Structure 1
């Protein structure tokens, strides 16, 4: 699988698109004025304890107090409170020696929030979820500092190895290395990317994270809550840290500053990959050049069309998301069960992509096309599990119920991406909406494919004169019309009609009778 990262710098921030085999799978928007990103550390002030919820509201400087539930307290919550107090009050030149810090006993898993945070102290917290809608940030006291190969978890003193590393020998090797090089009072989680890495690479990554922790200690000195103690890296570098693998083959940036930062970061974490970073200097928009704008327009509407003619309807309610799968005019044979299976398989792949792309979280209910055979239902569930394997968010896929519904739960870490894909209609000047015109040619081609596969020959296409010019413009052998003739091996005549609206089109057969689809 080829992975490409396209980074578009705009006056309002940075847009980041992740492509897998040229298909858009993730879209991130890092605004210049954004704050309270996942991973940021704050010195927060406990404002209110809610025993009924077993939670607390913490002031971290956001307009609404952040939420901290008891289950998000670290087992070492008392140690964090003690460390925070000592670090804020520390005035020594050499600073607090964390390896000599005396860790407090762990708190009970079934304890009460007011037993731990009584007195409303200041506490070091980490953003677990960004502010969403009217809610403030979600917090955690389980501090973790992610690196390229390891994650540093202060206070717990435990070494764990990613379960995605399947080799038992490799897991033991990594565990022995990390246990030998880590310092006291630091826990370490070995990431999947560490597989095959040597001691020097792991030690360099771990040392960098320990230096970051020392920086946190320095920033805590004399700090007054609420205060930001540490900012997570930019979205671009954090994505590279988490995603960079052997099959990552291109990173393209259109801003000199971001290009230099990205290049330096790649040289630091993976010098052999430095040549994949490129500077885009073409006059056209970088997202237009790589076809991202078109993919965004086609992927974010209420209706998502699939190449075969099937389509999805995606709707959001207060409690959950609902996705309906429709066969449209797709047909792969006379067997209804086979048609349903093939359509559902195609839809499952697109649904997995949509969940990542829009960052849809919570409960998702999918109404697939009904299938009778249990084996086919099992195939569909296995396929959905496989398609979602590349999703970094925690998720679970349940078997299809007796009502033909599949339930999926997925963790959401940032506000859901929602992009308006409609444009102001040139005919009604905004009193209604039309589908984005960038997708019109795709829609015509899709219906043309259907007609050709159903033995329609010598077709005539009537369109608005502007669309006619677009389909026939340029040198004859370069026109869209010629490419259709060659692709579908049939004669397609395109005629302008002044009475048609911009997006209106109709097909006619050789007897000049309109073909209804």
Structure 2
């Protein structure tokens, strides 16, 4: 049984996927004035610099995007001030704007529409000539778009492919009209890309239950899954966060630990550097076996399987480097690599795995989709001035709010004693009203204490007057 949880706040979308009760994937997308991968914009050429083979494009946002000034673009005779349709292929980083491409596409589950191109192409993974001929004989070419049949398309009926083709073409027609007749430079396509990508990749023959926490998403998801018999959609309307109610918040907090134990007694350690994620495999307590080679293989196999799970659930992206325990036997390396590929096989279209290097290192390149759990949960520690990380204050506020609402829901209590790590004192006191507002404490009695070196926070209900008297000096007054 698969479950998909979709939780939306004003500027934050969180998606969690559970399979048989275990969290297997998490996606976080913040709404801000920056382009994300897959969005399509009507842009305007601001500058062309042949010396560095770059074209800079105004997207109507804070930063200009850029793209490679290819021979194909040179042949088109691009000019400064010209409007151009572009797709985001890499998000902005530091002072660098988004990387763009003039090759624009609209993805579906079975096909991809290539805007302003011609012909039908197939995924390299489709090798069945009979299936290819069947598709070619029954799919009609459409003006202004080329069609790429995705790997999943080989398993779909002609009716399903044509249905999706018609649906995607309507989106193209809307995009085309805006490109031709709208005077503004703006985003033309790409609302909730992460949400629809998750839904596309998740929908199959298995039973799926989808939970949302607002009417807008209920209607949006309902329209997307219309006609799918194995899906059910439920709207949660409680006051606590959806992730908190269904236990996903606790599962995500556990992922802050960089060490993951393996059944055999070994473990993996996941660290983030500025350039990449590094995963180290260790034998740990797995030293009982008499055969050293078997011990190494067992540890590496369990690590390969777990690494695939951790990459998805932590949403790691970019370059990922894995340091397996050294293996001299080539056959062992093949077995471990097959296990790693299998563990990441459900990560459709996002990942590329490279062979073992001479140092027994494996490199993985994974496309970015939303934020990793670290990016939205953690921030740099201001006290140690080193590499230490702490939970973001905004995230702590959400956790405290969930705990207050849970206690209030169960016991109708209006008085709470809260302990927060003293590392947050200055920021909280600097805007105490906002802090109390965010934790749903404006209409409650709040007693707030700052304590050194506690794990985040503590919330305790105050039931008796004697409890209040003991902490009276910590009572918050906003007057």
Both proteins in one fold, TM over 0.5: yes
Q: Which residue in 1 is equivalent to 2:384?
A: none
C-alpha distance 137-315 of structure 1, shift in aligned 2 (>3 A)? same
Q: Which residue in 2 is equivalent to 1:145?
A: 106
Kept after mapping to 1: 8 A contact 2:352/2:364: yes
Map of 1:373-388 to 2, 5 A cutoff? Answer: 373-388=329-344
- 272, 278, 283: which one aligns with 1:322: 278
Moved more, 183-192 or 302-311: 302-311
Residue 43 of structure 1: how far off its partner (Å): 1.5
Q: Which residue in 2 is equivalent to 1:176?
A: 137
Per-residue CA deviation, residues 226-250 of structure 1 (Å, 9 max, x unaligned), is 3223334453233212331112522
Per-residue CA deviation, residues 348-368 of structure 1 (Å, 9 max, x unaligned), is 122222333344334322111
Q: Which residue in 2 is equivalent to 1:271?
A: 228
After TM superposition, the runs of 4+ consecutive aligned structure 1 residues lying more than 6 A away are 420-423, 432-435
Are 1:400 and 2:356 counterparts? yes
C-alpha distance 502-194 of structure 1, shift in aligned 2 (>3 A)? same
Kept after mapping to 2: 8 A contact 1:126/1:143: yes
Kept after mapping to 1: 8 A contact 2:29/2:370: no
1:26, 1:249 → 2: CA distance? 15
1:131, 1:375 → 2: CA distance? 42
Kept after mapping to 1: 8 A contact 2:123/2:149: yes
Map of 1:75-94 to 2, 5 A cutoff? Answer: none
1:283, 1:331 → 2: CA distance? 50
Are 1:371 and 2:327 counterparts? yes
Per-residue CA deviation, residues 300-351 of structure 1 (Å, 9 max, x unaligned), is 4333344554332222333333221122324452332222211111111222
| Secondary structure at 1:296 match in 2 | helix
Residue 251 of structure 1: how far off its partner (Å): 1.4
Are 1:123 and 2:84 counterparts? yes
- 110, 119, 129: which one aligns with 1:158: 119
| Secondary structure at 2:225 match in 1 | helix
TM-score (norm. length: structure 2): 0.71
1:4, 1:251 → 2: CA distance? 6
Structure 1: 5+ residue runs without aligned partners? 72-106, 424-431, 436-500, 504-517
Residue 198 of structure 1: how far off its partner (Å): 4.2
Map of 1:11-410 to 2, 5 A cutoff? Answer: 11-33=10-32, 36-70=35-69, 108=72, 113=74, 116-178=77-139, 181-195=140-154, 197-267=156-226, 270-274=227-231, 276-281=232-237, 285-331=241-287, 333-410=289-366
Per-residue CA deviation, residues 121-178 of structure 1 (Å, 9 max, x unaligned), is 2211122233344432221111111234322113321112334445332222122211
Residue 44 of structure 1: how far off its partner (Å): 0.9
C-alpha distance 118-373 of structure 1, shift in aligned 2 (>3 A)? same
Structure 2: 5+ residue runs without aligned partners? 380-387, 392-452, 456-479
TM-score (norm. length: structure 1): 0.66
Residue 199 of structure 1: how far off its partner (Å): 4.2
C-alpha distance 298-199 of structure 1, shift in aligned 2 (>3 A)? same
C-alpha distance 28-125 of structure 1, shift in aligned 2 (>3 A)? same
| Secondary structure at 1:389 match in 2 | coil
Map of 1:383-462 to 2, 5 A cutoff? Answer: 383-419=339-375
Per-residue CA deviation, residues 240-263 of structure 1 (Å, 9 max, x unaligned), is 123311125221223233223212
Q: Which residue in 1 is equivalent to 2:3?
A: 4
1:434, 1:185 → 2: CA distance? 51
2:216, 2:229 → 1: CA distance? 21
Kept after mapping to 1: 8 A contact 2:28/2:371: no
Kept after mapping to 2: 8 A contact 1:42/1:125: yes
Kept after mapping to 1: 8 A contact 2:314/2:372: yes
Moved more, 139-148 or 322-331: 322-331
1:147, 1:393 → 2: CA distance? 12
Residue 406 of structure 1: how far off its partner (Å): 2.2
Residue 401 of structure 1: how far off its partner (Å): 3.0
Kept after mapping to 1: 8 A contact 2:46/2:80: no
Kept after mapping to 1: 8 A contact 2:27/2:369: no
C-alpha distance 406-127 of structure 1, shift in aligned 2 (>3 A)? closer
Q: Which residue in 1 is equivalent to 2:473?
A: none
1:211, 1:228 → 2: CA distance? 17
| Secondary structure at 2:56 match in 1 | strand
1:327, 1:334 → 2: CA distance? 14
| Secondary structure at 1:42 match in 2 | strand
Q: Which residue in 2 is equivalent to 1:455?
A: none
Residue 58 of structure 1: how far off its partner (Å): 0.9
C-alpha distance 60-205 of structure 1, shift in aligned 2 (>3 A)? same
Per-residue CA deviation, residues 77-106 of structure 1 (Å, 9 max, x unaligned), is xxxxxxxxxxxxxxxxxxxxxxxxxxxxxx
C-alpha distance 118-234 of structure 1, shift in aligned 2 (>3 A)? closer
Kept after mapping to 1: 8 A contact 2:278/2:320: yes
Kept after mapping to 2: 8 A contact 1:301/1:420: no
Kept after mapping to 1: 8 A contact 2:29/2:371: no
